[in-house]
Amino acid sequence: MIKKKYAIIGKPLSHSLSPTLHNFWFQKYKIAANYSLIEIELNKIEDIIKKIKNKELQGINVTVPYKQAVIPFLDVVENEAKETQSVNTINLNYEGKVVGNNTDVYGFEQGFINKLNASSIEENKVLILGAGGVSPSVIYALARKRIKQIFISNRTLRKAEDIKKKFPFIEIIEWEDVDAKIENIDMIINTTSLGLKGGANFKQEFHKTKSNLVYCDVIYNPTETMMIKKFKKNKIQTHNGLEMFMYQAQKSFYLWNAIKPEINKEIEKTIMMKL
């Protein structure tokens, strides 16, 4: 039997657990398909999209740093992908058009927002750390929840300013001012790569935070970043990125197979064993 082919493109990719997740579900739902890693340079994006057009590949996920770079090669950019200018799921539709979707927004909503036990969330002052590939999806999801005050801070100011052009309602806090302004913040969302396994960590101290602060880290490897450990010690509510990761994959799987795969302890255990 010919197996359908799916993959994730990005660079670097070695850390990605998307193959583990999708191959587990392909097996569970008896779909003859295989999901692999395709680490590529920017100039190879067009070739990969052509493979979708000619059905050599049935679908791809896109991760850093190409979520925006793929857009010029697509025939259609759907809903949240259009709003955020960030695409992480691509496939061919029934009209033979290459379509880009964004499932990070859904992942963030299901994996974080809906799990928080924060009261009257619209009133929260939320600080997003980082202005990289996933930040627009986080901002869009927060705005859809009608959160009134969204702040962003990024080491490279220009990138925060670029995001503000897309979402003029956000306010910028300069990277050096984060510690001075942290005491008013109700929720922090780390979308930077600071805290990743083997990587650098924050230089900020985050000393004067509210006692009912909620800290969310988009990182899931390690499951407890330095920041999560530090905040947990101070009895602050923390969340890692594992649920967001699983929910964005769930929606990608649904877009490709019209099956909503179950997220349960079994799949969580399978992922955890790989970390």
Please identify every residue annotated as catalytic. 67
* Residue closest to ligand ATR when measured from CB atoms: 132
Which whole-number Å values give the CA distances from 66 to 43, 46, 72, 74, 247, in the listed order?
11, 12, 11, 13, 20
Cβ closest to ligand ATR, residue 25 vs residue 151: 151
Residue number with CB closer to ligand ATR (19 or 195): 195
Strand bridging mode 214-217 / 149-153: unpaired
**Closest approach of Cβ 84 to ligand ATR, in Å?**
13
Contacts of 82 (CB under 8 A, 6+ apart): none
DSSP code, position 55? T
- Would you say 42 or 180 has its CB closer to ligand ATR? 42
Q: Is 239 helix (H, G, I), strand (E, B) or coil?
A: strand
Report the amino acid identity of residue 144: R
Give the nearest distance from C-beta 248 to ligand ATR in angstroms. 14
Report the distance separating Cα 7 and Cα 60, nearest Å. 5
Q: 59, 38 in Cβ contact below 8 A?
A: no
* Cα→Cα distances 18→48, 90, 135, 155, 249, Å: 18, 14, 20, 28, 7
Closest CB 96 distance from ligand ATR, rounded Å: 31
> Could you identify the residue written with the tokens 């923390």?
238
Which of 18, 154 has the CB closer to ligand ATR?
154
Q: How far is the CB of 123 from ligand ATR (least distance, A)?
A: 26
Tell the smallest beta-carbon distance from residue 245 to ligand ATR (Å): 14
Residues shown for the chain? 275
Q: Which is nearer to ligand ATR, 145 or 155 (CB)?
A: 155
* Binding footprint of ligand ATR on the chain (CB under 6 A): 64-65, 130-134, 154-156, 159, 192-194, 200
In the three-class reduction of DSSP (H, G, I as helix; E, B as strand; rest coil), residue 262 is classed as coil
